[in-house]
Structure 1
Amino acid sequence: MSWLTDPAVWTALLQIVAIDLLLGGDNAVVIALACRNLPREQRRKAILGGVAGAILLRVVLLFFAMQLLSLPYLKLAGALLLLWIGVKLLIREEDGHADIRGDVHLFNAIKTIIIADAVMSLDNVLAVAAAGAGNIYLVSFGVLISIPVIVLGSRLVLAAMERFPVVIQLGGALIGWIAGGMAVADPALAGYLPGSVAVQHYAASVVGAGLVLVVGQAWNRRLVARRL
């Protein structure tokens, strides 16, 4: 049990927790967006199920962090998937879904949370792995500590969405922003894009956020036109 008195262990643990908490804001937005159309009694189940699955998948990704992020086109593919998730989460539910069982919606919400968290975690697992110095047990413990904060954050965002619908649009834009920045960070694009890395990241993030909002609004207008 000498590790309990090892300052390096506690320093690494604090670094891991700090990284996860900083990323918890993005996770909370995704969780809230995915759960906003669920009945109130199912939201808690979706949040707990989605977070548990996302955390487990993130720990698994830590084993392959170095290999995953060095592969060309992986970030680009992840960014495209994240853009689709952002658009999908902005689409308003059509009326008349009484014939659809609630557990189907619950499963879809959990699946969306897990997929989105996995995509958004690709860039961050390296930081967590580096902070943990390769100790998977230490990393896993640090990630587990951050779960209550992520759950609490998602509930706060849900409450804000119910009171201020514009938060939904902002959440979708945030997902698009992350997707744009992830896309230009792909090793396959290195050397092909003009401007500095900072300019590339900012420009691509703006384009990603705008794309999600434009496509999401166009999709909603099309749904409204079909109902008329």
Structure 2
Amino acid sequence: MSFLSSAEFWIALSQIILINIVLSGDNAVVIAMASRSLPPAQQKKAILFGSVGAIVLRVVLTFFAVYLLTLPYLKLVGAALLFWIGIGLLQQEDEEHGLEGHAGLAAAIKTIVLADLVMSLDNVVGVAAAAKGNVPLLVFGLVISIPLIIFGSTLILKLMDRFPIIIVLGAALLGWVAGEMAISDPAIAGWTAERHTLHTMIPALGALLVVAVGKWMSSRREQRREQLQQATKKQPAV
């Protein structure tokens, strides 16, 4: 425990916490969006368990981050997955609130962990660099980040209830992050490096597509629901 008295330890720990505060904003949005349709009691569980699960996976991922980020096409796959998660979260905007049972809670936790895992591919590099190979420091710093992410998620969740537009903005944020992730994939990084406009165009296109596709799919689902209700009403009573 002598490392606790080291100034370098506390400086590095402060860096890790600061990095997580700066980089976990999008993760807090995902957590809030994934849990917003649950009852209040299950919202708290989804935020807590989802945040803890995401942090544990982030610790594991950090040890392999530098190697993983060099693999071609991995970021492209991650971007596609994140894009689909954003569309799925946006569709929940028009669904009924008050999901009951463990299925809704488990699905929310799964979405939180999966999205955080994908979005953390870049984030963990900064954390690993700040830790400089110090495993206790790395784990300690990420554990401290849990209440920060939980607080951020809870705050965004409350704002979503008052300002539904935040849900759309959150989905757009996921599309933006997906675009940034795709364009930085090693398989195409050399080609995109010479085309600077793509570094803004692709993320912006990703944000627009997530919102457009999500809204279109929600509209289609609502139309089918209305057609089913009308067909049910027309059926003669037995």
| TM interval, short-chain normalised | over 0.9
Give 1:46's aligned amino acid: A
Number of the residue aligned with 1:138: 137
Distance in 2 between the 1:121 and 1:163 partners? Answer: 29
Q: Cα offset for 1:101?
A: 4.8
- The whole-number CA distance in structure 1 between the counterparts of 2:67 and 2:85 is 25
Q: Check conservation: 2:38, 2:100, Cα contact below 8 A.
A: no
- What are the within-5 Å matches in structure 2 for residues 60-209 of structure 1? 60-92=60-92, 94=95, 101-193=100-192, 195-197=194-196, 199-209=197-207
Please state how far the C-alpha of 1:195 moved relative to its aligned partner.
4.3
% same residue: 54
Shift of 1:214: 0.5
Deviations 1:159-205 (A, max 9, x none): 111111111000000011000000000000023337444x3321111
Letter in 2 for 1:26: D
Give 1:47 deviation, angstroms: 0.5
SS at match of 2:192: coil
User: Which residue of structure 2 lines up, in the alignment, with residue 223 of structure 1?
Assistant: 221
Match for 1:111: what amino acid?
K
Amino acid corresponding to residue 219 of structure 2 in structure 1: R
What TM-score, normalized by structure 2, do the two folds share? 0.90
1:9-48 deviation digits (Å, cap 9, x = unpaired): 1111111111111122111100010001101111001011
Cα distance in 2 for residues equivalent to 1:113 and 1:188: 28
> What CA distance in whole angstroms lies between the structure 1 residues aligned with 2:85 and 2:29?
12
- Figure out how many residues of one structure are paired with residues of the other and give that number: 225
SS in 2 for 1:70: coil
Task: Answer yes or no: is the 8 Å Cα contact 2:39–2:100 preserved in 1.
Answer: no
Give the TM-score of the pair, scaled to structure 1.
Answer: 0.94
**Matched letter for residue 190 of structure 2:** G
**Unaligned segments of structure 1, at least 5 residues:** none
CA distance in 2, matches of 1:156, 1:103: 24
Q: CA–CA distance in 1 between the matches of 2:116 and 2:190?
A: 29
Q: Determine which structure has more spread, i.e. the larger CA radius of gyration.
A: 2
In structure 2, what is the equivalent of residue 5 of structure 1?
5
Match of 1:20 in 2: 20
Which residue number corresponds to residue 232 of structure 2? none
Letter in 1 for 2:217: W
Give the aligned partner of residue 47 of structure 1: 47
Distance 1:196 1:142 in 2: 37
Structure in which a larger fraction of residues adopt helix:
2
